[in-house]
């Protein structure tokens, strides 16, 4: 099987190669297939974070040959936060990527030429996390507390929404900016009272270390926004529409398989990313599975226009987006397979 695997150390080189890939020719594959199975179209896919169980669907699509069957030679590039990944596409350093939809929409609102094309997480995994002995019983209890804030992460971008929904101001908290890798140690060492964490990563890490924690999901505390999504630059969508459609169909097939057989999905993840944390991966995938069919979603991989409209309204309420903007500015479902080929959330 032809595979272009990349690790974090090669991320810069892989991102640089995107420009060459985009300029190497905009001809899309002819309908009906490819002249030869060896003539695979290279596609570099920029992830939002270091590989984990929350990427298992993409790992399955690569490992099991779904991308190759679609005529694609896909490289999965590990990332360093949704905000950073969104900036890479906004600055034309990447063309096809995976990040939190709020981070992407915020940059689109600022003029970035890109669009969300498939939503895997229908609601955010972001949450406030604290040790039980800190006596934080609600988001409102954060007043006067110190909170670890990860740089370049989606939950930081969304913090104004959470504060607004719970009657708080930023000045009510002491925000401590830190690298994402420092969040869990800082909380365990009680250097901060709480952290801006996530159900699919930091909660798993804390529980793996035996920490007794409380957690308050953004989605259950007034911020039910659409979340982690596949998105692309507008230029790439114009130049490579059939490649994008093939990539989405193969990626969703990988996610369906990962949801159906988590054990195999974790094996595929380890095969594609040997450095992935096996201890955490199962919990990360389980947490991801809880988010693919919430927030009114009808199909895996496809957010409803109503969910997008609600997200637009929430972001506009705290000045992250302009009021009155058509939500279709941020997303397009036209590159997804037709509904009959998507997995229904009701089945």
Q: Is the model more confident about 332 or about 17? A: 332
In whole angstroms, give the CA distance from residue 86 to residue 74: 19
If asked whether residues 216 and 230 sit together in one domain, one would say no
If asked whether residues 140 and 102 sit together in one domain, one would say no
pLDDT over 90 (residue 270): yes
pLDDT over 70 (residue 88): yes
If asked whether residues 158 and 215 sit together in one domain, one would say yes
If asked whether residues 62 and 190 sit together in one domain, one would say no
If asked whether residues 138 and 39 sit together in one domain, one would say no
pLDDT value for 11: 40
Listed residues 220, 235, 263: the one ending a domain: 220
66 in a structural domain: yes
3 in a structural domain: no
pLDDT value for 152: 72
Listed residues 185, 220, 255: the one ending a domain: 220
CATH number at residue 32: 3.40.190.10
Q: Say which range, 2-16, 90-104, 181-195, 244-258, has the weakest mean pLDDT.
A: 2-16
Residue 154's pLDDT band (cuts 50, 70, 90): confident
| Residue range 31-62, pLDDT digits in tens | 434 444 569 999 999 999 999 999 999 999 99
pLDDT value for 38: 65
In whole angstroms, give the CA distance from residue 165 to residue 161: 6
pLDDT value for 153: 81
If asked whether residues 147 and 41 sit together in one domain, one would say no
- The number of domains in the chain is 2
347 in a structural domain: no
Listed residues 220, 251, 284: the one ending a domain: 220
Q: Say which range, 22-26, 138-142, 158-162, 176-180, has the weakest mean pLDDT.
A: 22-26
If asked whether residues 299 and 324 sit together in one domain, one would say yes
| Residue range 155-179, pLDDT digits in tens | 898 999 999 999 999 999 999 999 9
pLDDT over 60 (residue 307): yes
Q: Say which range, 30-44, 118-132, 213-227, 255-269, has the weakest mean pLDDT.
A: 30-44
1 in a structural domain: no
pLDDT over 70 (residue 276): yes
Range of the domain at 212: 126-220
């Amino acid at each position: 099987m032809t595979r272009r695997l990349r690790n974090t150390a090669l991320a810069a080189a892989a991102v640089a190669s995107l420009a060459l890939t985009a300029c190497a020719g905009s001809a899309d594959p002819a309908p009906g297939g490819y002249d030869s199975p060896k003539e695979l179209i290279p596609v570099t896919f920029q992830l939002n974070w270091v590989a984990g169980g929350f990427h298992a669907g993409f790992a399955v699509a690569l490992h099991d040959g779904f991308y190759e069957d679609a005529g694609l030679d896909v490289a999965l590039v590990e990332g360093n936060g949704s905000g950073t990944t969104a900036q890479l596409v906004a600055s034309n350093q990447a063309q096809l990527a995976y990040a939190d939809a709020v981070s992407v929409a915020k940059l689109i609102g600022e003029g970035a030429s890109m669009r969300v094309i498939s939503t895997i997480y229908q609601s955010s995994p972001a949450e406030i996390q604290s040790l039980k002995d800190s006596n934080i019983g609600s988001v409102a209890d954060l007043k006067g507390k110190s909170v670890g804030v990860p740089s370049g992460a989606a939950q930081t971008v969304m913090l104004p929404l959470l504060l607004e929904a719970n009657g708080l101001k930023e000045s009510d908290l002491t925000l401590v900016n830190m690298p994402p890798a420092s969040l869990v140690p800082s909380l365990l060492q009680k250097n901060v009272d709480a952290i801006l964490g996530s159900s699919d990563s930091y909660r798993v890490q804390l529980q793996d270390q035996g920490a007794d924690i409380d957690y308050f999901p953004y989605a259950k505390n007034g911020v039910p926004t659409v979340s982690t999504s596949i998105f692309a630059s507008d230029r790439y969508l114009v130049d490579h529409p059939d490649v994008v459609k093939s990539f989405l169909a193969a990626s969703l097939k990988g996610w369906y398989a990962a949801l159906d057989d988590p054990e195999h999905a974790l094996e595929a993840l380890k095969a594609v990313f040997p450095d992935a944390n096996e201890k955490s991966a199962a919990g990360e995938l389980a947490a991801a599975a809880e988010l693919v069919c919430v927030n009114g979603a009808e199909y895996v991989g496809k957010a409803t226009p109503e969910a997008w409209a609600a997200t637009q309204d929430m972001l506009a309420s705290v000045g992250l987006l302009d009021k009155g903007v058509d939500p279709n500015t941020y997303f397009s479902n036209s590159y997804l397979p037709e509904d009959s080929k998507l997995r229904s959330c009701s089945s």
